[in-house]
Structure 1
Amino acid sequence: MSRPLLCHPGFRSSAVRSLRARVRRMPSGALAVNFKLDADLERLQIPSRRPRRFRDGLWRHTCFEVFVATRARAYQEYNLSPSSEWASYAFSSYRKRAAATPLPPRIRVRRNGLDATIAAKGRLKIGLCAVIEEKNGSLSYWALRHPRGKPDFHHRRAFALELG
């Protein structure tokens, strides 16, 4: 089922009409994630296509994000850029990086969105999020659910979807 991502009220976008995300479990156990953007694409700063590779700092620009947690405090973060670049990080608790690195996601970029496959097992809490950059440099922050205050995709309140 496709779900709307909500724009953080402190960082509005006049170029984005809506952003929807969908996640489903594949027979292999992996997650299939889809993001679909309805926007005036000419007003957005969309990164140019590049070879698929790890790149840190993708969240500073237009980037789709997936957070995956078990019931424990540990979780994983996946940054998925329209450039085809990606980043994945493991955390032992809130914003505390762990030594392990999750397996890289598989990404397919579309004109108005992105599809990804992410390795995952067990019962999960998931956060689906995005940072959208406009050509004027302004950023808007989108999530299934935002915690109070500033945008914080790492906050457990943002992990709004449960999958068995």
Structure 2
Amino acid sequence: MQLICHPDTPATAVERVSVHLSTTPIPGELWCEFHVASNSLLLPPAASPERTDGLWKTTCFELFARPAGGDAYFEFNFSPSFRWAAYSFDGYRSGMQDFPAEDPDIWVTPGPPHFFLAVEAMPRLPSVSTAIALSAVIEETDGTKSYWALAHPSDKPDFHHPDGFVLELPAP
């Protein structure tokens, strides 16, 4: 799937951002692989894999999941540094709290011109159909930041927007 760059945040040296999402043999878990085609991607330095806030301030990849039948959703952030974050929300940008999760397995294949970040065995999703939003914050070596998603339903980049959850996964 191709992610779309928000028109208000054009990239200067990113050709495309795409993602492959699939289920694993374990019900409710996913395999997610992000690909960035760029010769000037700014990557945070490698660090120990641990929960960390504020990953979205530089290159970061995100998955949002909203179980059917409600407004509550989850946000998962994955950094090329191997750091990660997981949150739950009661509704649109409200009731945010840390979501209990184990360290996900993150693999990075640095470019250029192709960068890959893969995540396996993410925290289990609920056993109902789930709406998904996929996104990325991409920072380039010249400081340019662009915001990529499957859909941009508002005039400003907003990965939490309810209308951005455009991919439907059936119940496991």
Shorter-chain TM-score bucket reads over 0.9
Moved over 2 A (4+): 97-100
1:7 match: 5
Q: What amino acid does structure 1 have at the position aligned with 2:60?
A: C
Distance 2:79 2:38 in 1: 17
Match of 1:97 in 2: 95
1:71-129 per-residue CA deviation (whole Å, 9 max, x = no partner) reads: 21011001100000001111010111344614243322221121112221321100110
For structure 2, the 5+ residue unaligned runs are none
Give the structure 2 partner of residue 113 of structure 1. 116
What TM-score does the superposition give when structure 2 sets the normalisation length?
Answer: 0.88
Structure 1: tracts of 5 or more residues without a match:
none
Q: Give the corresponding residue for 1:34.
A: 33
Question: Aligned pair count?
Answer: 160
- 1:139-159: CA deviation from partner (whole Å, max 9, x where unpaired): 100000111210000001111
Any idea what the Cα deviations from partners look like across 1:11-55, whole Å, max 9, x if unmatched? 001211011111111121211111011111xx2211111110111
Equivalent residue letter for 2:71: R
Q: Return the TM-score normalized by structure 1.
A: 0.92
Contact 1:76 1:102 in 2 (8 A): no
Structure 2: distance between partners of 1:4 and 1:88: 24
Q: Determine if contact 2:12/2:144 at 8 Å carries over to the other structure.
A: no
Identity %: 39
The range that moved more, 125-134 or 99-108, is 99-108
Alignment of 1:25-104 (within 5 A): 25-29=23-27, 30-40=29-39, 43-71=40-68, 72-99=70-97, 101-104=99-102
Deviation of 1:65 after TM superposition, in Å, equals 0.4
Query: What's the offset of the Cα at 1:136?
Result: 2.2
Instruction: Give, in whole Å, the separation in 2 of the partners of 1:99 and 1:21.
Output: 26
Does the CA contact (< 8 Å) of 1:25 and 1:32 recur in 2? yes
